[in-house]
Structure 1
Amino acid sequence: MVNAGIIGQAVGLFAVTNIDDIVILALFFAQGAASRGSALRIVLGQYLGFMAILAVAVAAAFGATFLPESFIPYLGLLPLALGLKAAWQGWRRRDDDERVELDHGPKALEVAAVTFANGGDNIGVYVPVFATSGLPGMSVYVVVFLVLVAVWCLVGRFFATRPFVAKALSRWGHVVLPLVLIGIGLVILVEGGAFGLGFG
């Protein structure tokens, strides 16, 4: 029988380590609002990115290190590059009154890259929890996390489709999204001390 306490811990752990993903998801959903199939690509990308995080964390919990700790700060290059790309595309189309939102909305692999990079620090939190939970406990964490990814996608889409939020994101999303992605990239790089950027 599954311990309800582990489920509660899994929910709490997911929430505190992924709360910022809701904002990013809302921006992605707003970006692809006018594009058919965009929502499915965003959900797929979110799952791909998060499953990659889980795969690395589970492997590390069993003692296999596929992603050296010193490499994690450099994951910031992924959202930084995507943010710069989005900024360039938005600037290039600034005079187009019938602008198509950034290549018909975000691509699944772009969402996955941002999700994985933004969750790189989550790996360090998940590994000791998984390692001390045993295989049954780890399985519960993984299942709960994967269910909550869907919940996070629904919440992100909910915010993106609220009239006030949708209007604001429609007007400013092409500016905010690149800034958020670039900001995430820089924070990951600086906090991790990549390229000697750390303050400590």
Structure 2
Amino acid sequence: MNELLAAITTGLTAFTATNLDDILILLLFFSQVNTVFRRRHVVAGQYLGFAALVVVSLPGFFSGLLLPRPWIGMLGIVPIAIGISRLLQTESEAAETETSPSATPSTWLTMLSPQAYSVAAVTFANGGDNIGIYMPLFANSPWESLVVILSVFFGLIGVWCGAAYQLMKVPAIAEMLTRYGNQLVPYVLIGLGVLILLDSHTLENRGLVVLTLLISGTFTLNLLRKLEQVSVAKLYSTSKAVSKMEKN
């Protein structure tokens, strides 16, 4: 009984200490909910991202190998990439996304949706501290305690999502995030990625700095090319429609 209580206490303490900042991220995600990006995507993405953190933290999957903290910090590239992607999206594309119809998918389809993956990627990238704490915690826990700790972790994810959603119902918070959420989210994600890189001392390693710049630059260039292709296609479609109207 004492071991059970100790495992529950350990799970509560470890989860709370490593996921306090996730409340803000969840608030921002819930503020973006529309006809395509649903609450279920936020919850599913949170579970997926956290499950990935747990898998990476289990020493059995890596033969006890602990990843160097600066390499873990490379995960900061993920929220930076997502933030840049959202920042470069045009208003017309955002309008199309909000007005497009959506069917109600099954639970498994929700878990596999790009929207859920986007949330999961941010959750995973923000988990450098989680990995650093969970690896030795899991390594020093007997199997029975590990099961209890993981049960506490996954139960608290639902509590975290529920708390963030309830906070969104507070008029002042809801109004602020609804009005400024779309503009804030890209900068918050980019800032989060930079903080992860700095906190993990990734940018103190010249090789990792070069690698970070190469990955970020390649992603940005590819994104700009795609946006340019979309813009050209839209212009061509618009001009074609105008020409057709003039002929009629």
Instruction: Normalising by structure 1, report the TM-score.
Output: 0.84
Question: Corresponding residue for 1:93?
Answer: 91
In the aligned structure 2, how far is the partner of 1:197 from the partner of 1:83?
24
Distance 1:60 1:88, change over 3 A: farther
Partner of 2:14: 13
CA contact (8 A) 2:45 2:116 kept: yes
Counterpart contact for 1:43–1:153, Cα < 8 Å: yes
**Equivalent in the alignment of 2:201:** 193
CA distance in structure 2 between the partners assigned to 1:6 and 1:62 by the alignment: 23
Q: How many residues align?
A: 192
Counterpart position of 2:31? 30
CA RMSD between the two structures: 2.7
Choose the corresponding residue for 2:192, options 165, 170, 184. Answer: 184
Report the CA distance between 1:197 and its aligned residue.
6.5
Match of 2:140 among 132, 143, 168: 132
Query: What amino acid sits opposite 1:163 in the alignment?
Result: P
Question: Structure 1 residues 5-14 or 165-174, which shifts more?
Answer: 5-14
Whole-Å separation in 1 of the counterparts to 2:45 and 2:121: 8
For residue 115 of structure 1, give the secondary structure of its aligned residue in structure 2: helix
Distance (whole Å) between structure 2 residues aligned to residue 38 and residue 115 of structure 1: 17
Distance 1:20 1:82, change over 3 A: same
Give the match for residue 157 of structure 2. Answer: 149
- For residues 57-83 of structure 1, give each alpha carbon's deviation from its aligned partner in whole angstroms, at most 9, with x where no partner exists: 113687344856442111000000011
Show the counterpart of 2:230. none
**Which letter maps to 2:182?**
H
Paired with 2:36 and 2:83, the residues of 1 have a C-alpha distance of 23
The C-alpha deviation readout for 1:78-125, integer Å capped at 9, x for no partner, is 000011112222xx218x8x6856x99x81000000000101221111
| Mapped partners of 1:140, 1:165: distance in 2 | 35
Larger helix share, 1 or 2: 2
- Kept in 2, the 8 Å contact 1:30–1:161? The answer is no
Which 4+ residue blocks in structure 1 deviate beyond 4 angstroms? 66-70, 98-101
- Please identify, of 171-180 and 2-11, the stretch whose mean Cα deviation from structure 2 is larger: 2-11
For 1:69 and 1:191, locate their aligned partners in 2 and report how far apart those are by CA, in whole Å: 9
Aligned to 2:79: 79
The aligned counterpart of 1:162 is 170
Provide the residue aligned with 1:109 in structure 2: 117
Separation in 1, partners of 2:97, 2:175: 16
Q: CA deviation at 1:47?
A: 0.3
> Structure 1 residues 78-87 or 63-72, which shifts more?
63-72
Gaps of 5+ in 2: 103-113, 207-248
SS of match in other structure, 1:133: coil
- Classify 1:176/1:37 alpha carbon distance in 2 versus 1 (closer, same or farther; 3 Å): closer
How many Å separate the matches in 2 of 1:168 and 1:19?
Answer: 21
Quick one: percent identity of the two aligned structures? 39
Q: Deviations over 1:32-73 (max 9, x none)?
A: 1x3266111111100000000001111368734485644211
CA contact (8 A) 1:72 1:192 kept: yes
Give ranges in structure 1 of 5+ residues lacking alignment: none
**Secondary structure at 1:85 match in 2:** helix
